[in-house]
Amino acid sequence: MQRQVKLAAIEILLLRHAEKPDHPASGPGLTTQGQEDAKSLTVRGWQRAGALAALFAPNLLLESRLPTPNRIYASAWREGGGHSQRPEQTVEPLARKLNCPVDLTWALHQEEAFGVALAASSGTALVCWQHQGLAALARAIVAPQCLSELLPDWSWPADCYDVIWSLRRNGTGKAWHFTQYCQALLSGDRDQPFNLPGKVHHA
């Protein structure tokens, strides 16, 4: 009798980094030492980073809709890539809580190669990226499959910080499934995610 091999499931959670100083009312970017830095998160951004740690980390008192990641990636700040500390800062509190280091191997503009690497992995990965490359990264992960929700000409809105995308499949070679969630962590967060063609989402 031929033994059945169980295929490993994979779920990739994609989110944009938390708030940046994009207008005067948002306040300045601040480092962890409280020094002003245009490449860092604002006060609200740091609040979101802390709330995300509570959302994704195991908590007996809170039943999260989302799985706890066993790998955490952030877009790296480097020459020719993303010139921002914010992706790493956004997942720092969660990384500390889970005792899981942030992988900074990849940076903005490397979406195609990174997507291939993610698609070949297993388990649950959380990826914090810059909005310019998020949709391209999602499309690279599911390629050559085409999902109706991931239109080739669509890009992540510059003013959105509070949506999470999930790409999941039940094993290598299986079809990818797309879901999007509202974070609903801070006052003023939206109660509906993006209005995409597939309309697969959870509030």
How does the average pLDDT of the chain come out, rounded? 90
- Residue pLDDT, tens place only, 145-183: 999 999 998 999 999 999 999 999 998 889 999 999 999
**Angle between helix 111-119 and 131-142 (nearest 10):** 40
Q: Among 70, 150, 136, which Cα is nearest to 108's?
A: 136
- pLDDT band of residue 197 (cuts 50, 70, 90) is confident
Number of H helices, E strands in the chain: 4, 7
Residue-range domains of the chain with CATH: 10-202 (3.40.50.1240)
3-state secondary structure of 20: coil
3-state secondary structure of 35: coil
